[in-house]
Structure 1
Amino acid sequence: MRPARLPPGVNDTPDAADAYRTVAGPGRARFEVRGSEFIGHVRPARTVDEAEGFVEAVRAEHAVATHNVPAYRVRADPLRECASDDGEPTNSAGKPALNVLQQEETENVVAVVTRYYGGTNLGVGGLARAYSRAVKGAVDDAGVHSVERAGVCVSISPLRCRSFEQDKERFR
């Protein structure tokens, strides 16, 4: 049996855009700095809605926490990155959390760092180090792996197009 030929203009050679790094599953890290408790949470997220849903779930679980700082990187063509300081001083929490995800070269990943204030101010530098450490610890706990994107070439009759459009989301 001969392998099927690809239509003109379709390339079957994978390139760098066909693969990405992400966390292998959920991860968590917990530690204290001068009385404040930090809890880093990470998990894979394939869509912005999935990432924001995880952020809301962590906020609900830790509703009495002083801060729940989110950061995510989701390939939504183009890559969408988001981070928030959630009331911490500007660029002391969200940006350091996002920087870890960027340095790890991960995509389709969401992180939330929960902080329970312990009564001692840590300063911008201390906060940045703590938020970075929480995300790095959670990423290390989850593990990182490479994922290859796979393309599919489908030929269908015009009569089946509507059904195909309705069903294709199940296979994403």
Structure 2
Amino acid sequence: MKSYKTIKKTGLSEDIIKKSRFICQVKRISSEEEGRNFISQIKKEHHKANHSCSAMIIGENGEIKRSSDDGEPSGTAGVPMLTVLEKQGLTNIVVVVTRYFGGIKLGAGGLIRAYAGSVAKALKEIGIVEIKELQGLAVELTYPQYQTFANFLESQGLQEVDPDFSVTVTTHLFLDKEAVQTTLEDLTDFYHGKVSVQEIGSKVVEVDLIPMNQSET
């Protein structure tokens, strides 16, 4: 599978801008239908709101993109929201920003900043992950060897998974496929050729990322 970035979890963020209440709700999705159902659900929950604008991107390559201004002036809500998602490189995500009008008009520029800023704020608060497939290695070590294994992990920036302590220690590493050969060579050098390593199945993991600095526009 190709790695891609998406939202960490379903969540929401609220903001008050010139007395208008903006509620941004975010959900990870796998299809356009799922995204539309989420948008409909939000509109029903906030049927008294003035607008519930939306944007979604779907597919590992972000091939499906949709946005809606939901009654706001054309180009002031849905597209700015979608642009935030694009700049972050996100996919398989839908965002809905619900606005309760507070009596003060924001103007086109103010609306763009408000809707884009609501999405950027939600992404920062909720978190972004990279979903990727990693190749597994099973490493068998003697107990004396295992005492120095932490030094190897630190030098490689790796973490072990599910060590099993029996007659010997069998532990596991998961890393990018491109790094497998180099890691095998480094392990062999570290233990002077006296180490047993086997490739095992791959594993899909989620790695926490820090959102890029995002302009409200």
Shorter-chain TM-score range: 0.7 to 0.9
Change beyond 3 A, Cα 1:78–1:31 = closer
Distance in 2 (alpha carbons) for counterparts of 1:103 and 1:37: 25
C-alpha offsets along residues 27-79 of structure 1, whole Å, 9 cap, x if unaligned?
21111111111011111011111111111111111110000001000118771
Bigger strand fraction: 2
1:136 correspondence with 2:132: no
Which residue number in structure 1 is paired with residue 34 of structure 2?
A: 50
> CA RMSD for the aligned pairs?
1.6
Change (3 A) 1:28 1:107: same
Aligned to 2:25: 41
**Structure 1 residues 98-137: aligned runs within 5 Å:** 98-137=82-121
* 1:1-172 pair list within 5 angstroms: 18-75=2-59, 79-148=63-132
What residue ranges of structure 1 are gaps of 5+ in the alignment? 1-13, 151-172
Instruction: Give the TM-score taking structure 2 as reference length.
Output: 0.59
Which structure has more relative contact order (CA 8 Å, sep 6+)? It is 1
Q: For the structure 1 residues 78 and 92, does the alpha-carbon distance in structure 2 shift closer, same or farther, using more than 3 Å as the test?
A: closer
Check whether the contact 1:28–1:137 (CA below 8 A) recurs between aligned residues: no
Number of residues of Structure 1 aligned to a counterpart in Structure 2: 134
Equivalent pair of 2:4/2:60 in contact (CA under 8 Å): no
Amino acid at match of 1:121: K
Contact 2:51/2:99, CA 8 A, preserved across alignment: yes
In structure 1, distance between residues paired with 2:115 and 2:65 = 17
Please give the TM-score of this superposition, normalised by the length of structure 1: 0.74
Asked whether the 8 Å contact 1:72–1:108 carries over to 2, the reply is yes
Q: Equivalent residue of 2:35, what SS?
A: helix
Name structure 2 gaps, 5 residues minimum: 135-217
User: Where does structure 1 differ by over 2 angstroms across 4 or more consecutive aligned residues?
Assistant: none
**Partner residue in 1 for 2:205:** none
Give aligned-pair identity as a percent. Answer: 34
- Give the counterpart letter for 2:126 in structure 1: A
1:141: how far off?
A: 2.0
The 1-side partners of 2:62 and 2:99 are apart by: 31
How far apart, CA to CA, are the structure 1 residues paired with 2:54 and 2:11?
A: 15
